[in-house]
Structure 1
């Protein structure tokens, strides 16, 4: 959530990994393991999806050896007026064809600011734009019917849909006398229009269960996960929030907002009871903190350690920092990598950053505005194709200095892997590197280099990279 929008905000703190093939994808990261349609995607010589020019070329997402890519399907303050679900629905076919495997949606339920809320101030978890409360029937994004149509469309495209879950705090309750504070608090949610998960003062800190948990946010009522009644409504009962979202609304996974506000056991218990992919927003650059949370939560986590290292590397001319520790290096199956999101957008030189996350291990995320508005979509589609088809196996860093970075994906189960070369200098660079391949011709699948070198018997070869750009090399096949 947005730090600069106090009234709506929730400082969003918070895999599917591409390091192996589908046989080794765990149930915690189902977005690529549960692909049903095997439509073949036609590509051009650079690996980008082929088009006949009349828009007729089309294929559903199919998981390649490197996996898939997550699209963040919104940004802060998307247009209000109730049309966002339709906007996303209209883009799903193109995203699927490009190789996007899943879409993460903003909080879908009615929040305090009704038709103007981004959803991070939740009031009624079961009002998806079908009840007249908080000043509107629809949410900012649209109606329940439009949301359900979006999810159905995504599933026909072999894409999964992840719900943004805000369970640290609530907003929009009525005032009531609170014996634990000796004052009135805005904790009376007994009149929620759905009739589901009514709440009162004892469901928020401080209460009979204590004064506080791990963290509160912005003065909003802090939901008490220690209360069995709250647990039952969040994940326990058949019509709990989690099970309703999964079984009725058909969401496939969860992005947990501001997980610093409650213990990792909450996400762990949700996952055990509800299932589906999950990722936590733990806004912390310390890789030890990220890894500990992910292990205790039994969940993926956004790789903020990689995020801040990429900013230093690509914006400050210090590619050596890419040698430093990151979550994807600790456990790629629990690392969701990203270049920007609705809360934070500090990396200026984004294309090398996308080249980095789309060729390395972890579950890479594309930010909506980068893809649809700000960057070169053809170049992003090319990198997505490279990720899904070539980015396999473990990673070996071959060379780094301030201006150059070269790494190899070692391949897996017959897939040859790749070599990625990133150059932040103002001139062309060349370098001898050790590849996975003996006596075979390779090419740059980005098209940035026109070389077609042949590797030596000892697997060494000279490759090149243009200034302020990148190249990605693999077998010419």
Structure 2
């Protein structure tokens, strides 16, 4: 794929009412026009809240908006038929489709079961109390409306290692289920936050039960055959044993008709943890570059006090560029969400230029940054907030610039705390560019590009500056940018050709 570029085509507050799948189908041609060639769709399966579910509270993996379950046939995003129409429209324009896989937990069980549990210290999950509580828990999933279509598998307490609520006696907390598969502790090869972060929420799926492992593999084969998707985004992998995903990814790649693009969400601001996970799964998945996102967040808050020379220090794209998916924002980091760490509006054009126009990493664009978003929700302080996320200035042009001008060898001029630059040399088939940005006053760089760029006239593709720049007989020129902004300089004759 030429300069792969992902669009996360939803956000936490995307409108409901079954409007997203039709919108995706309608926008497919526009995505193609601006240079989007991969679209990450939200979880397509029925959640415990039915048509009100964002999708991360998975109830039935085999219901893509087809059965009347949890109060509706459609999911929040539409019916199964509309999902197929959206995917077909994307494929018509050679846009790859990534489905969101949520298999850490299940919610919305159909029946309660008598179980025995051990209470767990929520701050240190390795402290599992020896007290045994006889109780009831919502752990039986029978999917009566589907009646065994597509899969006859019934989930019960033996498929789960923990829950966060029990009844008779009624208690909330973290509880370790006692069964034939869970043993004395939690799964290994998970994040060590809270001692062991295997348990996150709901009915926690236990992959030590081989029947569960095989069912999730079967579901993957089924969903690929039904949707013809081109890859997956894996949710919450820090809570799922790495040995399971190593096995699962090997399986889906083996049975897929063509290589799948897979990116996993391991949300940790520690590049060492990300590299460890990549090693544990034998380098079979890419990861979102959380440290880089946090750098963007910090830089946007500090303004001119942030040293732009350090923007990539300690990031995944610096340490392992072949496994990094870079991002400026996502549904978890947007305002009022659990991992809220928004990048300030003024800095987003700089951040997007850094992920879209450099040669390293696969960039992911966030829907509200491209199309805007408005929503209301209650914050952690109990107050009600109205949030407005404006369209990022010149983002569409930056995505287009990636396809037209982000080619060839990269050279960096990260030699000033406030003004940095990089160039792409271009190739015999496609032109390059020069990118200059400043987090302070207007900036300029005297750059020696070589004789291939002698006596050329350059213009700012973004239109942030009106003047033209000329390089001399040695290919040297003074390239500038506005204060707190970015300019993308391209050769005028190349612009006219492309």
User: Shared topology, TM-score over 0.5?
Assistant: yes
CA displacement at 1:402 relative to structure 2: 3.2
> Displacement, 1:448?
2.3
Describe the shift of the 1:283–1:192 C-alpha distance in structure 2 as closer, same or farther (beyond 3 A).
Answer: farther
CA distance in 2, matches of 1:471, 1:175: 60
SS at match of 2:330: coil
What secondary structure sits across from 2:202 in the alignment?
A: coil
Alignment of 1:4-23 (within 5 A): none
Which stretch shifts more, 442-451 or 290-299? 442-451
Distance in 1 (CA, whole Å) between partners of 2:455 and 2:112 is 73
Q: Which runs of 5+ in 2 are unaligned?
A: 119-133, 162-176, 191-196, 254-259, 335-341, 373-388
Match of 2:180 in 1: 208
Cα distance in 2 for partners of 1:106, 1:136 equals 18
Q: Does 1:95 align with 2:37?
A: no
Cα distance per residue 1:24-77 (max 9 Å; x no partner): xxxxxxxx2xxxxxxxxxxxxxxxxxxxxxxxxxxxxxx4xxx13111111112
2:135 to 183, 200, 208: 183
Q: Choose between structure 1 and 2: higher strand proportion.
A: 2
Aligned partner of 2:478 among 439, 462, 465: 462
Superposed, 1:318-329 pairs within 5 Å as 318=306, 319-329=308-318
Report if the CA contact (8 A) 1:170-1:221 is conserved: yes
Residue 233 of structure 1, aligned match among 204, 207, 215: 215
Write the distance in 2 (CA, Å) between the matches of 1:219 and 1:331.
31
With over 3 angstroms needed to count, the CA separation of the structure-2 counterparts of 1:455 and 1:291, relative to structure 1, is farther
* Alignment of 1:347 onto 2:343: yes
TM-score of the superposition, structure 1-length normalised?
Answer: 0.80
Contact 1:110 1:122 in 2 (8 A): yes
Q: In structure 1, what is the Cα distance between the partners aligned to 2:238 and 2:5?
A: 26
Q: Report what 2:432 is aligned to.
A: 417
Q: Per the alignment, in what secondary structure is the counterpart of residue 127 of structure 1?
A: coil
Task: Find the residue that maps to 1:108 and give its secondary structure.
Answer: coil
Partner of 2:286: 300
Quick one: which of 460, 465, 471 aligns to 2:487?
471
Computed over aligned residues only, the root mean square deviation of the Cα atoms, in angstroms, reads 2.2
The gaps in structure 1 that reach 5 residues or longer are: 1-31, 33-62
What is the correspondence of 1:28-427 to structure 2 with a 5 Å cutoff? 32=1, 63=2, 67-173=3-109, 174-179=111-116, 182-191=134-143, 193-194=145-146, 195=148, 196=151, 197-205=153-161, 206=177, 207-210=179-182, 211-213=185-187, 214=190, 215-235=197-217, 240-275=218-253, 276-297=260-281, 298-317=284-303, 318=306, 319-345=308-334, 346-348=342-344, 349-360=347-358, 361-373=360-372, 374-376=389-391, 379-393=394-408, 395-411=410-426, 415-426=430-441
Conserved? CA contact 2:420–2:436, under 8 Å: yes
Structure with the greater alpha carbon radius of gyration: 2
Cα distance in 2, alignment partners of residues 198 and 418 from structure 1: 57
Displacement after TM superposition at 1:241 (Å): 1.5
CA distance in 2, matches of 1:392, 1:415: 6
| Alpha-carbon distance in structure 2 between the residues aligned to 1:314 and 1:455 | 32
> 2:160 touches 2:206 (CA, 8 Å); kept in 1?
yes
Deviation digits for residues 311-362 of structure 1 (CA, Å, limit 9, x no counterpart): 2223312123215131112232321111111110310131211122111221
TM-score, reference length from structure 2: 0.77
Q: Report how many aligned residue pairs link the two structures.
A: 408
- 1:78-108: CA deviation from partner (whole Å, max 9, x where unpaired): 2222222112222111111111111111111
